[in-house]
Amino acid sequence: MQDIHHSTIDALIVGGGPAGLMAAHMIQDAGHSVMIAEAKPSPARKFLMAGKSGLNMTKDESSTTLLSHYGEASDFLQPMITAFDAQQVQNWSRSLGQEVFTGSSGRVFPISMKGSPLLRAWLLQLESAGATLNRKWRWTGLNGKQFVFETPTGREHITPKVAVLALGGASWSRLGSDGQWADLLAASGVALDPFSPANCGLKADWSSHMQAHFGAPVKNIQLQAGKYQTRGDFVISSKGLEGSGIYSMSKPIREGSDLLLDLFPDLSLEQLQKKLQQPRGKTSTSNYLRKTLGLTGARLALLQEFNKPLPMHAELAQLLKACPIRHTGFRDIDEAISTAGGVRLDAVNETLELKALPTVYCAGEMLSWEAPTGGYLLTACLATGRWAGLAASSQLKDSCVLLSSNVNQTS
């Protein structure tokens, strides 16, 4: 798309990620002109990075089940995700010529497994319908109703009839989500929640014996933090623990709950106690656990790392069902897959319009909601982008009707 500068435009989209592109899509479909301003040299960089390991678009679940993964924000997101649920995400992908499939876990992926073919088709659709994408345009603030940008050709002032902000969270700054927009909105009276890491790895000060297990996967574990429980996998790294199982516990850990591992989720406490009644003799603890329970490798290493010396019999069985992980906090927020915090949900109305900035809407991760990985993040970004785009389109339509009425009355 060629860069075209406008002092006025029907709709301005600030941010070229999934939420922003979906908002642009909706507004353009309603017949209005759209300009997209993207701070990076190319749009949707985080989306493309996610696709390198297989673009998980959504989870093939009912809207009710999907919503259960958004915690306190589920009621707020309910109309948006109900209107654009897992089936709608799949239909949208197919409409762009990208067929999808559902894996054994219920996760939905494009056949190509990548984000790039989908993004190319999407941008081509927007371009063909007349959208303008301005790259390397960084939003630097508001001057009244003017949006001010620093661009490769100098400062630009844009006065849109409506605007949708889709600026991402505060992680992966090199891909464009740096959270610097928060100060700009705060200066305009928009209420914000502080940023926190979500879907983030944990740091650990390992002893030397753990080095042999760096890179080792830990599978089929029950993780618990406070009232939250999940069955999942993770990986031991030189820095700590990472992977979907750990990421799903981000919220309760951030809120102060201890992380516990059930190393034998398919065995009851009583079953473990019975197995551990076998005579030990002179066998070392490691060999005893290997022979009686098949406990070896990374799982055994974690048990020994955080529990020295190991108790025996009944106490050991309890420990195997609730092994504490003494981490040293989250990795840096810029390493988090996503972030909690951002524009408070009570700072927008039911159409996602900012109460402090009429005709300006918000969508995507910059709103203060969070969700685990597994397709839930992208689903909500697309759903909120669609919702904001439809609301902005409706406002543009109402403005056109009002203008036409005024002209007729004047005539």
Tens digit of pLDDT for each residue in 278-302?
Answer: 887 888 888 999 999 999 999 999 9
* Cα dihedral value 212, 216, 222, 224, nearest 10: 70
- Bridge-based pairing of strands 360-362 and 154-165 is parallel
The answer to whether residue 1 scores a pLDDT higher than 60 is no
Instruction: Report the distance separating Cα 114 and Cα 117, nearest Å.
Output: 7
Instruction: Report the distance separating Cα 157 and Cα 149, nearest Å.
Output: 7
Residue 35 one-letter amino acid: M
Average pLDDT on 339-349 reads 98
The answer to whether residue 404 scores a pLDDT higher than 80 is no
Average pLDDT on 209-213 reads 95
Beta-ladder partners of 149: 139, 156
In the chain, what percentage of residues exceed pLDDT 70?
95
- pLDDT tens per residue, range 18-59: 999 999 999 999 999 999 999 999 999 999 998 888 999 999
Instruction: Report the distance separating Cα 313 and Cα 14, nearest Å.
Output: 61
pLDDT on residue 278: 87
Average pLDDT on 158-174 reads 96
SS3 state at 118: helix
Q: Domains along the chain? A: 8-197+339-410 (3.50.50.60), 202-325 (2.40.30.10)
Cβ neighbours of residue 158 under 8 Å, at least 6 residues apart? 6, 7, 8, 9, 12, 35, 37, 146, 147, 149
pLDDT on residue 170: 96
The answer to whether residue 124 scores a pLDDT higher than 70 is yes
DSSP designation for 161: E
Q: Which residue has the tokens 């960089």?
A: 45
- Residue 12: CA count within 13 A, CB half-sphere: 29
Place 408 in a pLDDT band, splitting at 50, 70 and 90: very low
pLDDT on residue 98: 97
Kindly calculate the radius of gyration of the chain based on its CA atoms and give it in whole angstroms.
25
Nearest alpha carbon to residue 188 among 165, 156, 216: 165
Is the pTM above the cut of 0.85? yes
pLDDT on residue 402: 45
End-to-end, the C-alpha distance of the chain in Å comes to: 40
pLDDT on residue 364: 98
pLDDT on residue 9: 87
Nearest alpha carbon to residue 220 among 253, 244, 247: 244
**Per-residue tokens: 254:** 């951030």
pLDDT on residue 4: 43
Beta-ladder partners of 158: 147
